Structures are given as structure tokens and as C-alpha cells.
Amino acid sequence: MHSASDNRDQIIANQSQQKVEISPPETWVDRYGNYLYAYAMSRLRNADAAADCVQDTFLAGIKALERFDGSRDIKFWLRGIMRNKIVDQIRKSIKENKVDIDNEDEALLESFWFRYSGIATTNPDPWQFNPRKAYDNTEFWDVFNVCIDKVKQPARQAFVLRMLEDMETEEVCKVMDITPNYLWVLLHRARQQLKVALEEKWTGKDVK
């Protein structure tokens, strides 16, 4: 008669044996190349940088393959590696074009209200349409993807790292070499610009 702990041990052993099939690296380009490239493009918005990221990801994946335990789909494992490569690309881009605080942002950072509350605007404009009603429409997300392009650097980099890659505030500040206060300002700018772009493209009206 098997005890409860014997059964539990058997279940754990079975689960550890149910590993995902590991596709050989020779097949990765056809299987995952476009997926990873699309992901890199949505974050970096630069075809050359995205292609470099894909190459670096595959090469790093080959080196690390023997440490991969097969516990999840290799596509997502490669995407995890790619995430680090994307951050490296952004860090490199920022080193080449150092983030300079423009006059408008500097004024905002110095404003009494921002220093007191950490809030950039007390009265955000209401949406011209209800975005939640568009969430089930796949076209909306294609438009959203295009509108991210309308967000100017460095706000776009801050948006990608914080909102799309879910990096912690401290990490983003380290990568971009900025203070947390300036990160809040950049995210505020990103939200504003994305909102204007979405309203224009989705409703077809020039809202400026």
C-alpha cells in the first residue's frame, strides 16, 4: 500500500520528467527568429539593433543550452535572454546619446507642486474615447504598437523599460543614469504622448 508521501514523491518525479522537447539550435531561426525579431523591434524600434539582439540572443542561447533544464518552452527561455540583450542595447544607446533634461522637464522637476507631491499634472485631459472598450479589438493593439513610435526618446526608453519590461524603478534609473524624479517625469511625458497619438490614430481626429 503506497503512503501519501510515496504518492506525492511519485507525482513530483513524474512532473520533473515531463520536460519540454528542446529543439536543436539549427532550427531556432525558422522556429523563433520572427517571434524574437518582432519582440525586439517593439522594444527598440530600430531594425539593425533588433537584428543584432536576435543574433546575440541565439549565440548566448547556444552557450547556455546545456544549463537549460527544459522546464519551459525554449521560446520563452530565449525571450528571457533577449530581454537582457534589449536592456544592454538601450544602455549602449544612452551612453552614446546621454539623456539630457530639456528645459520643459527641468521646469517641471523644479516646480513647487512636483517637488511637494511627485505628481506632474493635477488635471490630465480626459480620453477622447474609452480605451477599455477597444481592448478586445486586435486592431487597437496594432495601432498601440505603432503609437509607441510617437513617444520621443528618452521618454520612450523609460516607458519600454518600466512599463513593458516591468523593470524596477532603481534598475531603470541605473540603466538610464537618471534620478527617480526624472523617471516619473519621463513616464508622465510618455503617457501624454502615447495618449495623444492613440486618440489621433484610433479616432481619426487631429486632437491637437
Partner 1 sequence: MFTCKQVSDSLSKGDYAKLPLAKRFFLRLHVKLCIFCGKYNRQVMDGQDMCRHFKQHEATNCKCAPELQEGQKDELKALLATESAKYPKD
Note the residues at the interface with partner 1 (CB under 8 A). 24-26, 28-30, 33-34, 37-39, 41-42, 47, 50-51, 54-55, 58-59, 62-63, 65-66, 116-119, 122-124, 131, 135, 138, 141-142, 144-145, 163-164, 168-169, 180, 183-184, 187, 191
Q: Which is nearer to partner 1, 98 or 116 (CB)?
A: 116
First vs last C-alpha separation in the chain: 76
Sign for the pseudo-dihedral over CA of 104, 105, 108, 109? negative
Provide the minimum distance between the beta carbon of 96 and partner 1 in the complex, in angstroms, as a whole number.
23
Residue 57: partners with Cβ closer than 8 Å, 6 or more residues away: 36, 78, 81, 82, 85
Q: Which is nearer to partner 1, 10 or 124 (CB)?
A: 124
Q: Which is nearer to partner 1, 73 or 88 (CB)?
A: 73
- Using DSSP's 3-state secondary structure scheme, residue 206 falls into coil
Provide the minimum distance between the beta carbon of 150 and partner 1 in the complex, in angstroms, as a whole number.
15
Residue 39: partners with Cβ closer than 8 Å, 6 or more residues away: 79, 82
Q: Are 160 and 194 in contact (CB under 8 A)?
A: no
Q: Which is nearer to partner 1, 98 or 191 (CB)?
A: 191
Provide the minimum distance between the beta carbon of 53 and partner 1 in the complex, in angstroms, as a whole number.
12
Provide the minimum distance between the beta carbon of 57 and partner 1 in the complex, in angstroms, as a whole number.
10
Q: Cα–Cα distance between 208 and 205 in angstroms, integer?
A: 9
